[in-house]
Amino acid sequence: MISGESVTTESSPRLLSHLGSTYYPLAMMGRLPFAMTVVGVLTLVVTVTGSFTDAGATSAVVGIGTAVAGPFLGMAADRFGQRVVLLASTLVHSLTLVALTVLTYQHRPVGVLMAAAFVIGASAPQLAAMSRARLLSIINLKLPSHVRSRTLNRTMSVESMADELVFVFGPVAVGVLSVQIAPWAPLVVAAALTLVCVGGFALHPTASVVRRAEHSAPTGSLRDVLSAKILVLAAGMLSIGTFFGSMLTSLTSFMDDRGAGDSAGVVYGALGIGSAIFAIAVVLFPASFTLAARWIVFALVSLVSVVFLPMIHSVPAMVAVLVVLGIGLGPTLVTIFSLGSARAPVGRSATVMTILSSAVVVGQSLLTAVTGRVVDAFGTSVSMWFPIGSVVLMVLFGLWNARIEKGIQTASLPSDR
């Protein structure tokens, strides 16, 4: 019998030996443009045009484009392979990011900007989803059975931590580049990172492994992908995205009220402290602490902290609340992705992971725009209720998921007859 400790020490080197030294740098840096885009578009348009309404609408369309096309990119990757899909989306996405930047400075009509923004969202390379699909395939295909479960838990924790960090620090990067260089810099840098890092990830040798793994077994139907057990996970991710969008916008208004609006991104980074630590710590939780229970428990941790937002009047207090919020948010994100990897139909892992990743961007885009309008109309105190509402939804979806999980377990029990 192999102890948990020996599995832990053996599993990571075995996985890394199949990935190579460039896999994680490409997979981590390639995520950053995805997290910079919504806020980068908002910052560029509002700075150049002076219209927060046009900027909010344009950034929201990015999310709509991702919602429409993201799942189809995942299905195409499952059918034709990740390499061709990633290379095509990388080229279109990078060119359109630059095109939107030029069109904005040419003061083209907002309809033109929104059309470009839709293409940006629709062509966004789904690197995070495809990275999970690759790693899942490599673990199942290459590693011995006794280390798979432990390695999968650890790997999904690292992947979710990476997502959490880029969604927190992506807006920080946008703020720094905008202030230190110019409003066009975030989108141009995002285009360059997409070409180099996502392009490199597309060409990485591991792309061929996922093709062998997915085609070694029958492919699950699209009906399975659209089942309640997957849709509840997408709903959970949507609520996390709405939190990101509403929290950043509300925090920006909060800091602007105190004459430090340009520091909002730095303060927002506090969300990543507790989030990163606890996202990694998920691997230490016992198996008796089920995924369904983790979602509810950590969503409640976020809820307990987020309700204090309307009462906060100082920056140190805001930082403290954001740190605690991250403690709940990080494990919730890890848990939902872990559930997605477990529930994905055979041959549809990229599709499911793309749906989950896209849901975050859709929620972020829509609530960035909506919360911005609320800030203009009613002020910061009212906008702070949007992050609270997002976390309430996170809890409710967690309860819905627990009910679905119970049904799945009941259906899997052997019949008495």
CATH of 19-412, one of 3.40.640.10, 1.20.1250.20, 3.30.565.10, 3.40.30.10: 1.20.1250.20
Task: Check if the beta carbon of residue 164 is closer than 8 Å to that of residue 335.
Answer: no
Task: Check if the beta carbon of residue 90 is closer than 8 Å to that of residue 194.
Answer: yes
- Span 302-343, pLDDT tens digits: 999 999 999 998 999 999 999 899 888 888 988 898 888 778
Task: Specify the DSSP class assigned to residue 38.
Answer: H
Q: How many helices (H) and strands (E) does the chain have?
A: 20, 0
Q: Give the up-direction half-sphere exposure of residue 373: CA atoms within 13 A in the CB hemisphere.
A: 12
Burial of residue 177 (CB within 10 Å: 0-12, 13-18, 19+) is buried
Q: How far apart are CA 302 and CA 108, in angstroms?
A: 42
Q: Which residues contact 287 (CB under 8 A, 6 or more apart)?
A: none
Cα dihedral 96→65→57→365 (10° resolution): -110
Q: pLDDT tens for the chain, 417 residues: list them.
A: 333 333 333 444 577 777 778 888 898 899 888 878 888 888 888 788 877 678 778 888 888 888 888 778 877 887 788 888 999 999 999 999 999 999 999 999 999 999 999 999 999 998 888 888 788 878 877 777 777 777 777 777 777 777 767 777 787 788 788 878 888 999 999 999 999 999 999 998 887 766 554 544 445 566 767 788 899 999 999 999 999 889 988 888 888 788 776 667 678 778 877 777 776 676 677 778 888 999 999 999 999 999 999 999 899 999 999 989 988 888 898 889 888 877 877 767 777 877 888 888 788 878 887 888 888 788 888 999 999 999 999 999 999 999 998 887 776 655 554
Centroid of chain to Cα 215: 27
C-alpha angle 221-226-229 in degrees, rounded to nearest 5:
110
pTM for the full predicted model? 0.76
Rounded alpha-carbon distances, angstroms, from residue 192 to 13, 43, 98, 122, 198: 32, 18, 10, 18, 10
Please give the full DSSP string across 10-22, using - where no structure is assigned.
HHHHHHHHHH-TT
Cα dihedral 156→199→215→67 (10° resolution): 70
Q: Which residues contact 185 (CB under 8 A, 6 or more apart)?
A: 177, 178
Token pair for 219: 């492919």
pLDDT of residue 43: 80
Domain ranges of the chain: 19-412
Q: How far apart are CA 368 and CA 63, in angstroms?
A: 10
Q: How far apart are CA 310 and CA 313, in angstroms?
A: 8
219-237 as b/e: b if 16+ CB within 10 A: ebeeebbeeebbbbbbbbb
